[in-house]
Amino acid sequence: MQFGIFTVSDITQDPTTGRTPTENERIKATLAIAKHAEEVGLDVFALGEHHNPPFWSSSPTTTLAYIAAQTSTLQLSTATTLITTNDPVKIAEDFAMLQHVADGRVDLMLGRGNTGPVYPWFGKDIRQGINLALENYGLLHRLWREDFVDWEGQFRTPLQGFQSTPRPLDDVPPFVWHGSIRSPEIAEQAAYYGDGFFANHIFWPASHTQRMIALYRQRFEHYEHGTAEQAIVGLGGQVFMRRNSQDAVREFRPYFDNAPVYGHGPSLEEFTSQTPLTVGSPQEVIDKTLGFRDYVGDYQRQLFLMDHAGLPLKTVLEQLDLLGEEVVPVLRREFAKDRPATVPDAPTHASLVARRASDQQSARRASDQQSARRASDQQSAARNAAASVAAAAPKGAAFGAAAVKGA
């Protein structure tokens, strides 16, 4: 199971000091956070995509390429890549390039985002959001798997004999997670393609997330990609920790109350009781996170949001220390207990390459067996034909031929 962090890249005033970091300071802080995530033993760093203040991450692949050069084991992902407003041709090319730069340590999460005005900024109609997601991914899926693509759809100009470059590393596309908070159509899309489904349930109660994951698992099995328990599931979460719960609540409250994503709404206590947000001790984070499995089953990826709402870099790095040293080791051990052997690990480039080689070998064996059966059938048919000819020949034919030869 993979553990990591994701960032929404907000630039938010620190409510305890009144100071707002500059864009440059926030970007450099995010780079430091990503590198520290690897240092404390986390598996994944994921970066959101936004094109409006107070967020800075308009070009995730650029940022992730830099992080790739500064790390060696960290899996790099997005949280979200906007499949609705980005050109699927550009997504195909950007992430294939990132694959090569990062030696395969890349996957991506596709989604529609949470900023309505982004649609007209990129010439799209928000009322077509679901249809854009479905059509654009259909094209992206083909661009990574076919050398030359002929395509025509509703939302972009047609393609004739188009080849995206560079081709995916080892001819294996990056693994795709389809992210959604509330749309069953996206769970259906993930299941149809046999991709991963990421439920970023940071704003929703467990019952809602449970229904979305159950739908995805059911449809994954329906499309014969495997059993329901073999579907690839990821979850989001939010945490703030101090060794003493009261200290955590007291320190985090002003950040929560003024956060751009959920401030000025339900109280901190209401939010923590109804959503995955955990503010407390490392043990409380462990207990609540382990409880996710009770309503979604065994899953493959757990990401935490930790650097938002104006929290200073020093505080975030302290949070990562607690997560890497005290929380994740316990979660790894406990999630591994009673995990069925049939439940797959989170896909990586290496595992996808190995699966492709295995599939090709199986296909070759099946082809060889089919050829052998065809050859055997041909031999049998030839023998049967010869026997039929012999049976139909006149009884005296052989004697007559011998007599003629003797004459």
pLDDT band at 202; cut points 50, 70, 90: confident
CA 136 to mean position of chain CA atoms: 16
Nearest CA-CA partner of 232 in 148, 176, 171:
176
pLDDT on residue 119: 87
Cβ contact 49:81 at 8 Å: yes
pLDDT beyond 80 at 407: no
The pLDDT, as a whole number, for residue 402 is: 41
pLDDT of 85 > 80? The answer is yes
* CB 346, CB 301: distance < 8 Å: yes
Residue listed under structure tokens 């409250």: 253
For residue range 251-269, list pLDDT tens digits in order: 999 999 988 777 678 899 9
Give the per-residue pLDDT at 373.
Answer: 74
Mean pLDDT of the region 348-356: 93
Mean pLDDT of the chain: 90
Q: Name beta bridge partners: 47.
A: 7, 78
Which has the higher per-residue pLDDT, 97 or 392?
A: 97
For residue 382, the model assigns a pLDDT of 65
Strands (E), 298-347: 301-305
* Confidence grade of residue 72 (pLDDT, cut at 50, 70, 90): very high
Q: What is the pLDDT of residue 395?
A: 54
Q: Cβ distance 306 to 277 under 8 Å? A: no
pLDDT of residue 116: 77
DSSP letter (8 states) at residue 203: G
CA distance 54 to 261: 11
**Confidence at residue 256, expressed as pLDDT on a 0 to 100 scale:** 93
pLDDT at 370 over 90: no
- The answer to whether 78 touches 145, Cβ cutoff 8 Å, is no
What average pLDDT does range 116-140 have in this prediction?
91
> Does the pLDDT of residue 34 top 70, yes or no?
yes
Question: 106: which 2 tokens?
Answer: 């890349």
What pLDDT score was predicted for residue 173?
98
How confident is the model at residue 366, as a pLDDT?
60
pLDDT at position 381, please?
67
Percent composition of the chain: helix, strand, coil (DSSP 3-state, to 5) = 50, 15, 35
Say what the pLDDT of residue 392 is: 64
pLDDT above 70: residue 364: no
Least confident of 13-27, 93-107, 174-188, 388-402: 388-402
| CATH 3.20.20.30 at 2-344, yes or no | yes
